[in-house]
Amino acid sequence: MSLLKHLNWRYATKKFDSTKKLSAEQLDTLLAAVQLSPSSAGLQPYKVLVVTDPEIRAQLREAAHGQPQLTDASAVIVFAAETNLDEAYVTNYIDHIAATRGMDRSNLEVFEQNIKTNIDRMAEDQKIVWNHKQCYIALGVLLSAAAELGIDSCPMEGFAAGKFDEILGLKELGLATSVIAPVGFRADDDIFSNAIKVRRPAEELFIHI
């Protein structure tokens, strides 16, 4: 199928079939796509948690207003933003580029300084907001990749982020929950699965200049 056909097929799945699980290969492919997600300067200032533990997911469901996707999907993908984006983080990133590409690190000094300068200009709360935005780029890749793989997903913001941080122990890791997406397979009786997709008309959505 074409990408557009896949995107027309997907929807925010409200009811997952709890008996259907992603294979290890499907999950690995999905995560590989997320790993390739673009981000500003390539920093990827976040971590991606894959939650399958039933007890943890039951706690997350409670912190998400009892929404069943948290326990019925095959896994819950949690995007968590870094809360301490500093020069050391950038230094490690540049080291990684040099090692991966077999480059002389000195050739990356200008790029490194540009990133550090841009980060230094931001207040701490601005950095966290910026990191959360990067999470949403990765979320978009997840949703598109899942659709292409025939995997259902449901992007969600309806949860208590602070409770998620507590349940997952994220504060100690220097992370803060940004957005989540349960993934799995739709239930046959999900009434939304056959609903006609509703989007703004092209003439209202796009402005050509």
Residue 171 lies in a domain: yes
Is-contact 184 75, C-beta < 8 A? yes
Q: What is the largest CA-CA distance in the chain?
A: 59
Average pLDDT estimate for 160-167? 98
Q: Is residue 208 in a domain?
A: no
Q: Give CA–CA dist 40/44, Å, rounded.
A: 7
Environment class of 75 (CB within 10 Å of its CB; exposed 0-12, middle 13-18, buried 19+): buried
Q: Name the pTM for this structure.
A: 0.96
Percent of the chain with pLDDT over 70: 100
Note down the domain range covering 66: 3-88+132-187
- pLDDT tens across 102-152, in order? 999 999 999 999 999 999 999 999 999 999 999 999 999 999 999 999 999
Is position 205 within any domain? no
pLDDT tops 80 at residue 61: yes
Averaged pLDDT, 2-13: 95
* Per-residue confidence (pLDDT) for residue 153, from 0 to 100: 98
CATH code of the domain containing 150:
3.40.109.10
Whether 9 maps to a domain, the answer reads yes
Query: pLDDT tens, 174-198?
Result: 999 999 999 999 999 999 999 999 9
Q: How many structural domains are present in the chain?
A: 1
Q: Which of 42, 24, 36, 47 is nearest to 144 (CA)?
A: 36
Question: To 10 degrees, what angle do helices 24-35 and 124-148 make?
Answer: 140
Q: What angle do CA 133, 129, 64 make, to 5 degrees?
A: 75
Whether residue 98 lies inside any domain: the answer is no
Kindly state whether residue 174 falls inside one of the protein's structural domains.
yes
Residue 24 pLDDT > 70: yes
Mean model confidence pLDDT for the chain: 97
pLDDT given for residue 1 in this prediction: 57
User: Is 107 contained in some domain?
Assistant: no
Residue 16 in domain: yes
Q: CA–CA separation, 33 vs 24, rounded Å?
A: 14
Name the CA dihedral angle for 70, 38, 7, 199, rounded to a multiple of 10 degrees: 90
